Structure 1
Amino acid sequence: MIQDTQINRHQLGALTGASKCDNYYELHFATGEVAHFYILADGIFRLILDPEQNFTEQPASFIQLAKFDNNAFERSQVRATNDSLIIHSGNYQVIFWQKPAIMSIFDETLHRTRMSQSSPLELGTEQTSEFLVQNKNEFYFGGGLQNGYFSHKGRKIQIKHDQITGDGGVVTQVPFFWSNAGYGELRNTVQSGTYDFGQKNHSVTTLTHQDQLFDNFYLVGNTPQELLAKFYQLTGKPVLLPKYMLGLGHLGNFCTTLWQPSAASVRNATKINNNFYLRTRNENSASGKASLNGEENYHFSARAMIDRYKAMHIPLSWFVPNYGVQATNEQALAFFNDYALNQGVHPGLWHEEDATLPAKTAFTYSNNPNLTASDTEKLKTELQRKRPLVLSNSGFAGMQKDAAIIYGDVGGNWESIATQVAGLVGSNLSGQPLAGAAVDGLLGGGNAQINVRDFEWKAFTPLLFNIDDQGDFSKTPFAYNRKITEINRAYLQLHSRLKNYLYTLNAQAREGNLILQPLFIAFPDERTNYTEQFGTEFMLGNNLLIAPITNGREDEEGNSRKDNLYLPGKHTMWIDLFTGEKYAGGRVYNNLTYPTWHLPVFVRGGSIFDFGKRDYVIYPQGNSQAEIYDDDGLTDFEHNYCKTQVTSKLDEEKLTVTINPVKGEYPDLEAEQATNLTLLCDSYPDNVIVKINDQIVPLQVYGSLDAFNLAHEGIFYNTNYSLAEFDQYHDQKQKALQIKLASREIATTKIEVTVRNFTYSSKVMVHSITSGIIPSPKLPSVDSSKITAHSFELAWSQADEVQVEINNILYEGIKGNSFTFHELTPNTRYIIRMRYVVGNRVSEWSDLFGVITKHAAEDYAIQEITVSSNCDSKPHHPLAYLTDLKMASEWQTEQSIAPDKPLELTFTFNDIEKLSRMTFVPRNIDHEGDPTDISLAVSTDGENYNLYAEHLKWRADSKNKVVGLRDVRAKAVRLTIYQSSGPLVAAREIIFFRAKR
């Protein structure tokens, strides 16, 4: 036994005995602890170690155990060896080793260990820790919505909601993670925790919670879907959204917002009724006030906002009129609800604590940071709806069964796009697939390009909405010029077109599938997909790959430049959703340009979509199938739904598409429906045979689209197929075979279409031909002075098109005689080779060579700094935010300062550090509170200080302020701030960097 008497913490001693009880195994240890081990189901185990030995065995409110019986436990068998206790359950051996007292799970089917503790549990009066063996190719996911990250290998994450919505913030507190080794763990606790997935020791994962009780569930499964399905067995399946939630939402403050007149030239002015206004907090300058129904000024009311959306031809689906304000006038809310519903808009209510819900409230938005499972159950009960829904801006494990997560980052910047992509993907990987982020954020704004690019990619998420009235800029889709409004309108129409697809994904998520997913879900054999190398891309289901524009790089014509676009799958064809241009998978594309209307979205070859009312669109490649889910959007979806299976098989030049009879039913399902089928193709096919229930149906071939549209049935070869909402932006059209069938009984009708001489992009998948005539490149060069943590420049002698292979991934679209590779991982070795390209022919590869990127600056940042202040901090902006190395957090003082009462901040390090510099990072919303007069003193003992820099003058602007500290050795640094640009002092971060070794 290893004892630490100073902090009363010790390791679990050797296993000394075991016995089989009525529904669990009891384990005894040399240090006096007793543990209970439960087998709940195949691959679901529970281990409880209670130092008090009370074993109340009551799980946290988010865990549901009533559905489990004792059958799996009774079927288990146990045997003892000289050094272990082995419990057999199904195909698994749960092994408790005697000394040291560690646990492992062995899979007899795969004949390998799924998980293993590396050392015994560490127990204390205030916390417990588990230590797991971490393998080289093992990756970790989960932990809730960890903004900016979805893959956690080599990283430490916090299981604690910290009210930070930007990069590094934790929006949901979920004590659940899983590994691609095929196991996951769910800690039965509501206490905060820290999960270190190899940051401190790359071969050990350390899991710590501030709870003396160790109560842990172990889940084993072959796929991520299996692991998530078992997580749902314990915590509940994700809710199925009411269909109206898949439309556009608006959240605003129509209770206290004030408006004042403005000139049109003012950057943040909002146009309302042909006049321009600014939001203001000054009642003296205000000329109008918002209201729900026009009780004050109608054009500033919630009703008027609904009317504005309608006038702009941007359909609004749901609405929260009191965001950020506890509304109390139930009668006014009820009147507004009536108006909204009459306009086809579903009304919701924002509230902080308990609230009485007005009549006809469709859903509720809870701002309670301490929301629990019982709270969401109560809120759902109060909603007098057939399918009640709770929205929340924070979360906990298990809330997926009752609620969806929506939140708003500061927004208005490029960085938030990449941050939110990773965060929403991570939420899906954590068992919370229904999560969304506000378009253009909460407070920032003013950049039309960021607004439209943010709207574009979020149109491919289930929850599309904006949160208005929180900052100086309007966040509506029509806040900018006509061009931006029209693009947003087109993407909203596309979002509506995908509603059936999104709804099916939501239904499939209840069985463990993901809605927004990382590339490794569809392409699990590619190691890079488990990392964050291409983490700004995601897939919507298995069919659509979205690569958001995440920076402002443009060409001379104002088009967005896109490098490092990865399309996975060497045998997969990808099709640009808008232009139909085709790409081979398994490579990275560079030097791409996208005009403002064009988001990089690619359809996976073989995809099958239902665009609503049996309007099927297929991109044939190989064998594929889709099961399309539907119900009425409001009633009991557990028992009232239908499914339609559609298959596509392209074998050489013969295509066979089958639409099977619909299974299931729900109220108001139309028994007879027409069917439309669109098959993307390259050329005119022949010999189209359509069978209905195995009987050939003769169909007329039409020569014009107008004639085809007027016909009840028929075939049309369309050489100008496109998504109509984007026709105004480009002339490039696609070719498609379109088939229309009249109404038939869908529950008894099987449709089979066979097309011969069918081709679709077979040439795209042809590999390049190696030619000995083309000389291979001489050894390319890398300028060591241009290597950074995230990029390097490759140069070669002959100005030509080249292909570059980096760590076995092919990079295309590279021309000239140099190219800079960016978005790379710091301190990583890249193995490279290059070859020339001429048409479809390539040269031999060059010799291999390597590049190692530099350490990132943050690698030298000192962590775990203790900071103290002579001023109090605001409750939601604590002093700890000043040194947490999260650029999204912000610290603020509670009191004002003055030259005779300066602010003193003392930073103490764990050890004496050799420093290089201090960096002050100002707040990014505004510059009220930036220090303007500061002094710096250093100490080697933490008690006696020597002045280092006196009365430095800083400007209040967005630039980081750097103080050089080369060769300074210090145990502590004291920063004295005499003046600031506002009454308070604020900062995002103060970072101390140690000298490079």
Structure 2
Amino acid sequence: MKKRFILRFAVAMGAAALAIGTNMSISKAQAASESSVTVNLPDDYKEEISFVKEDIPHVIWYKGSKPSNKPTVMKNSSASSGGDQTVATGNINKDKVPNFITKKSTIKFDVTENDKSYKLQTKKVTLKVNKKKGSIEFYKRGEKKPIFTQNAPFIEDSNVVTSLKVTNDAAKYFGGGMQNGSYDHTGNVIKIENLNDWLDRGVSSPTPFVWSNVGFGVLNNTYTKGQYDFQDPTNVIFSFLDSKADNYYIIASKPQKILKSYFSLTGKPLLLPKFAWYPAHLNAYNRDTWIEVTADSAGARKFEDGKYYKEYQPINPKSFNVNRPDKIKVNGEYFVPSIRRGTGEVTFVKDSAGNYHTRKESLNGEKDNYQFSARQIIDRYKKNNTPLGWFLPNDGYGAGYGQTKSLDKNIDNLREFSEFAAKNGVKTGLWTQENLHPKNPKKPKADERDFKKEVQKAHVAAIKTDVAWVGDGYQAGIGALRDAAHYMVKYGNNERPFALTVDGWAGTQKYGAVWTGDQTGGTWENIGYQIPTYIGSSLSGLSNVGADIDGIYEGGKPIIQTRDLQWKSFTPIQLNMDGWGSENKTPFTFGGRYADINRFYLKLKSQLLPYMYSAAYRNTFEGIPLLKPVVYNSDLKIAKRPDLTHEFLIGDDILVAPIYKDTQVDVNGNDVRHNIYLPGKSTTWIDYFTGKEYAGNQVVNHFAAPLWKTPVFIRKGAIIPENNPNNNPSEIDQTTQYVNIYPDKKSSSTVVYDDDGVSEDYLKDDYVKTKIDSSQESGSTVINISKTKGNFEGFVPNKKTVIRLKINQAPKKVLVNGKELAASSYKFEAKHQIQTFSNDRELSNIFDGSWLTINIPIRNVKTTELKVEVVQ
């Protein structure tokens, strides 16, 4: 049986004694090794100190008997509705309390004492427990100055309050989850509370985890609401509605090490399946009825038959539409307009007998209503040559996914749709408004859910947890994700369990992605505060982040919709949340050049997937955030520069500065962007769309941004792996290895990661990695592509290689593994035209400078290295 050290504080006398279980004492010079110590404080309070890793001390402050290891839950955890009547109406089980901290084991550490303190040491960290005050100083081992001192916690207004005295007054603070409109919390107070508030300064997915650039992070093991107060960077105060302080401290010098340790406690982020990187389309296709109207009617939509229709919902308490205005009666049934906002005059088209012309939606067009079906939407994406990766054809709220009187037959209907979608390279997901299973499994109702069969028989590959189900947040939200993941893993044919959620918490990252909630489109403000929201979410360990393109509500402004889609094409999740806005929410709603520009950016994202996927791998396994501030680097040099909240890096080499406001926009959407900070005194940045070079460590103003162009820069020296442009993962050319290189005087290197993009086999090391190096030597550019290491099912080792090299003049010759390559196998273009998939005059005349393209014949990438020398 393990012994526990007990440090007994005689606070009044200023003295203490140390014993090991029995009355045996330890001299000052002698070290003892154990797995925990307990500090006795006045009034029966105690602090238990242990280490789960050499750089992760765990401090629990409590009164009386030691509490459970489980996180505390609030007695009254009623959800804040944020004004949404649907929130937390799905009857979720809040009694389950899953542990979100999965690592509980401890390691041994050394304990010594002197007159003033007890010293607890691992190889990496030293803690000094003050004998008089009960405070704890935290040091990196070997350093003389503490990083911070934790004062003894206390209870105030039913909250447990902990304060940290931080020694470095340059400390900055990050984390806290998805804090809308903010990522650098220095000088502010942030709420760790489930608010269901999706607007600027709201909280979409809180996490009780923060970290500082001075080398530490804090994770609080609680399901209670609280806050972090960073108003004084040297005196951090955090409080939670809890009776104990259960604090894990991560001591590390680099942010990725802090985040990697955080993931070791709460779970590695899911590496998103490849389909999730493509746009999703979401709507309900099994509930509403379309009624023919005149073209000038409010909410009229033109369909393939050339006629105009308006969408109506049958009145149903499950749809939360009983009190919606503009009720009409059609064929004995009452309906209301499906669009929440924007009503107006409607003229119905009737036959000679006065009957309405109506068609009910469906998934498969099984009611002679194909143009109102979910299948038709997939056809529209194909017709518009627009990427689409996944499709959610229901939203709960009375929609379901079949129109029979049998749940099993409705599941068959869902299966038929999933199979149709799969033939078109698209995965199927479902919204989740309420219970995953029938109340009575032996007698299920037709409008209930059976998630096991949905996954096993209908091939559901994704789940979106709506606020009606997870709106309670905290333990209920994590429990819902855990339950969904369980069924997807067990019955999903080894596919990755992918969930999209709001109201997250620490640990959410291992189940999928978070989105920013239900927001209103058609406003610049919506773009403006989402950019720092994404950055802050990523710095909190929630890098799998996304939002509705142009919001779920309103919209109708094509310039803003296009600008929103552009920057989100450099982020993981893009959602076309259709059915609630003033216009359809698709990339091609506004047609013409708007649709062309949107297609161009979505195709570009499909090209860049290998780069983004490799960066996502590093986030999952190395703790390097996928999205980060432009001045972030491995040495924690995060500083303030002009307007850093409205630009970001994805990976290390692509900088995006979105158009997020009307600076001097003209009627065609052309604008300029000011305050673009390009970091790095010795770094050069290249305009992705023109090839123009810009020196780092400067602010760029008056940057021309015609409607087609969002400012995007590539770090000179970057090695960018690519795909062929495509519309979904099934169209990726597996027989060609593509790489773009922007050579610099300094040598550069990257590792390209790949796996099957679908299964969980990557967790069993079923993946491949390819190291690529670039350098300039004596007037030549040398590229080394190492042998690909590893394997996964379906990997194609025999590949062509296409290298695109950003150089200014044609080469004298090109050598491949020492042999001169035929001139017909490479091509230099002084003015290279970007493929935009458009006949628009402006879009078809975009040139990104001079490039050399080298085509290398098929080789086995696992057995053959490549050394390519471009002699100039």
TM-score range, shorter chain: 0.7 to 0.9
Partner of 1:699: 821
Distance in 1 (CA, whole Å) between partners of 2:596 and 2:296 is: 22
Deviation at 1:222, TM superposition (A): 1.3
- Aligned pairs (5 A) from 1:903-922: none
- Aligned pairs (5 A) from 1:57-136: 57-58=69-70, 63=99, 69-70=105-106, 72-73=107-108, 76-109=109-142, 111-117=144-150, 119-124=151-156, 126-134=158-166, 135-136=168-169
Greater RCO (CA < 8 Å, at least 6 residues apart):
2
Deviation at 1:579, TM superposition (A): 1.2
Moved more, 558-567 or 181-190: 558-567
SS at match of 1:637: helix
Deviation at 1:373, TM superposition (A): 3.5
Unaligned runs of 5+ in 2: 1-10, 22-33, 73-96, 314-326, 330-347, 349-355, 403-409, 437-449, 724-735
Partner of 1:745: 860
2:40 aligns with one of 25, 28, 32: 28
Deviation at 1:269, TM superposition (A): 4.2
Matched, 1:576 2:701: no
Partner of 2:742: 619
1:679 aligns with one of 793, 805, 812: 805
Compute the TM-score of the two structures, normalised by the length of structure 1: 0.69
Distance in 2 (CA, whole Å) between partners of 1:62 and 1:501 is: 35
Partner of 1:243: 274
Deviation at 1:687, TM superposition (A): 4.4
CA contact (8 A) 2:102 2:265 kept: no
Deviation at 1:40, TM superposition (A): 1.1
Moved more, 599-608 or 258-267: 258-267
Distance in 1 (CA, whole Å) between partners of 2:155 and 2:822 is: 77
CA contact (8 A) 2:299 2:310 kept: yes
CA contact (8 A) 1:568 1:587 kept: yes
Matched, 1:405 2:438: no
Distance in 2 (CA, whole Å) between partners of 1:524 and 1:484 is: 41
Residues 710-758 of structure 1 show CA distances to partners (whole Å, capped at 9, x for unaligned) of xxxx22222232431278523434212222111112112111122344x
CA contact (8 A) 1:523 1:568 kept: no
Deviation at 1:543, TM superposition (A): 0.9
Distance in 1 (CA, whole Å) between partners of 2:603 and 2:719 is: 19
CA contact (8 A) 1:326 1:351 kept: no
Residues 859-887 of structure 1 show CA distances to partners (whole Å, capped at 9, x for unaligned) of xxxxxxxxxxxxxxxxxxxxxxxxxxxxx
Moved more, 681-690 or 595-604: 681-690
CA contact (8 A) 1:620 1:648 kept: yes
Partner of 1:156: 189
Partner of 1:951: none
Distance in 1 (CA, whole Å) between partners of 2:835 and 2:846 is: 11
SS at match of 2:644: coil
Residues 902-923 of structure 1 show CA distances to partners (whole Å, capped at 9, x for unaligned) of xxxxxxxxxxxxxxxxxxxxxx
SS at match of 1:144: strand
Deviation at 1:324, TM superposition (A): 4.9
Deviation at 1:52, TM superposition (A): 3.4
1:665 aligns with one of 771, 776, 791: 791
Relative to 1, partners in 2 of residues 1:18 and 1:425: Cα closer, same or farther, differing over 3 Å?
farther
1:392 aligns with one of 501, 525, 543: 501
Pick the structure with more strand per residue: 1
Distance in 2 (CA, whole Å) between partners of 1:539 and 1:726 is: 26
Relative to 1, partners in 2 of residues 1:124 and 1:552: Cα closer, same or farther, differing over 3 Å?
closer
Matched, 1:293 2:367: no
Partner of 2:630: 519
SS at match of 2:120: strand
Relative to 1, partners in 2 of residues 1:15 and 1:224: Cα closer, same or farther, differing over 3 Å?
farther
Distance in 1 (CA, whole Å) between partners of 2:194 and 2:772 is: 43
Moved more, 603-612 or 518-527: 518-527
Partner of 2:766: 640
Look up the equivalent residue of 1:343 and give its one-letter code: N
Residues 63-83 of structure 1 show CA distances to partners (whole Å, capped at 9, x for unaligned) of 57665654x32xx21222222
Unaligned runs of 5+ in 1: 1-11, 703-713, 758-997
Partner of 1:956: none
SS at match of 2:541: coil
CA contact (8 A) 1:156 1:197 kept: yes
Distance in 2 (CA, whole Å) between partners of 1:251 and 1:81 is: 64
Partner of 1:492: 602
Deviation at 1:307, TM superposition (A): 1.5
Look up the equivalent residue of 1:313 and give its one-letter code: N
Distance in 2 (CA, whole Å) between partners of 1:202 and 1:55 is: 31
Partner of 1:308: 380
Deviation at 1:382, TM superposition (A): 2.0
Distance in 2 (CA, whole Å) between partners of 1:593 and 1:268 is: 36
Matched, 1:439 2:451: no
CA contact (8 A) 1:440 1:454 kept: yes
CA contact (8 A) 1:62 1:398 kept: no
Relative to 1, partners in 2 of residues 1:544 and 1:83: Cα closer, same or farther, differing over 3 Å?
same
Deviation at 1:532, TM superposition (A): 7.8
CA contact (8 A) 1:249 1:317 kept: yes
Partner of 1:786: none
Moved more, 24-33 or 649-658: 649-658
Between Structure 1 and Structure 2, whose CA radius of gyration is higher?
Answer: 1
Relative to 1, partners in 2 of residues 1:56 and 1:528: Cα closer, same or farther, differing over 3 Å?
closer
Look up the equivalent residue of 1:634 and give its one-letter code: V
Residues 518-541 of structure 1 show CA distances to partners (whole Å, capped at 9, x for unaligned) of 123238575534x78311101111
Distance in 1 (CA, whole Å) between partners of 2:554 and 2:102 is: 47
User: In angstroms, what is the RMSD of aligned CA positions?
Assistant: 2.4
Moved more, 17-26 or 311-320: 17-26
CA contact (8 A) 2:171 2:233 kept: no
Deviation at 1:697, TM superposition (A): 2.3
Matched, 1:340 2:418: no
2:782 aligns with one of 621, 633, 656: 656
Q: How many residues align?
A: 724
CA contact (8 A) 2:570 2:650 kept: yes
Compute the TM-score of the two structures, normalised by the length of structure 2: 0.79
Matched, 1:375 2:480: yes
Distance in 2 (CA, whole Å) between partners of 1:447 and 1:267 is: 16
Distance in 1 (CA, whole Å) between partners of 2:700 and 2:164 is: 38
Relative to 1, partners in 2 of residues 1:681 and 1:204: Cα closer, same or farther, differing over 3 Å?
same
Relative to 1, partners in 2 of residues 1:676 and 1:18: Cα closer, same or farther, differing over 3 Å?
farther
CA contact (8 A) 1:115 1:181 kept: no
Look up the equivalent residue of 2:139 and give its one-letter code: F
CA contact (8 A) 1:16 1:29 kept: no
- Aligned pairs (5 A) from 1:867-886: none
Deviation at 1:241, TM superposition (A): 1.3
Distance in 2 (CA, whole Å) between partners of 1:423 and 1:733 is: 31
Percent of pairs with identical residues: 30
Distance in 2 (CA, whole Å) between partners of 1:683 and 1:525 is: 38
Deviation at 1:140, TM superposition (A): 0.4
Distance in 1 (CA, whole Å) between partners of 2:18 and 2:586 is: 64
Matched, 1:196 2:229: yes
1:453 aligns with one of 551, 563, 567: 563
Moved more, 403-412 or 312-321: 403-412
Distance in 2 (CA, whole Å) between partners of 1:616 and 1:253 is: 40
Relative to 1, partners in 2 of residues 1:277 and 1:98: Cα closer, same or farther, differing over 3 Å?
farther
Deviation at 1:209, TM superposition (A): 0.3
Partner of 2:827: 716
Deviation at 1:56, TM superposition (A): 2.8
Moved more, 533-542 or 380-389: 380-389
Distance in 2 (CA, whole Å) between partners of 1:326 and 1:557 is: 42
Partner of 2:616: 506
- Aligned pairs (5 A) from 1:203-352: 203-262=234-293, 264=295, 269-273=300-304, 274-280=306-312, 282-284=327-329, 287-296=358-367, 297-328=369-400, 329=402, 330-331=410-411, 332-352=413-433
SS at match of 2:271: coil
Look up the equivalent residue of 2:190 and give its one-letter code: I
Look up the equivalent residue of 2:573 and give its one-letter code: L
SS at match of 1:725: coil
Look up the equivalent residue of 1:132 and give its one-letter code: L
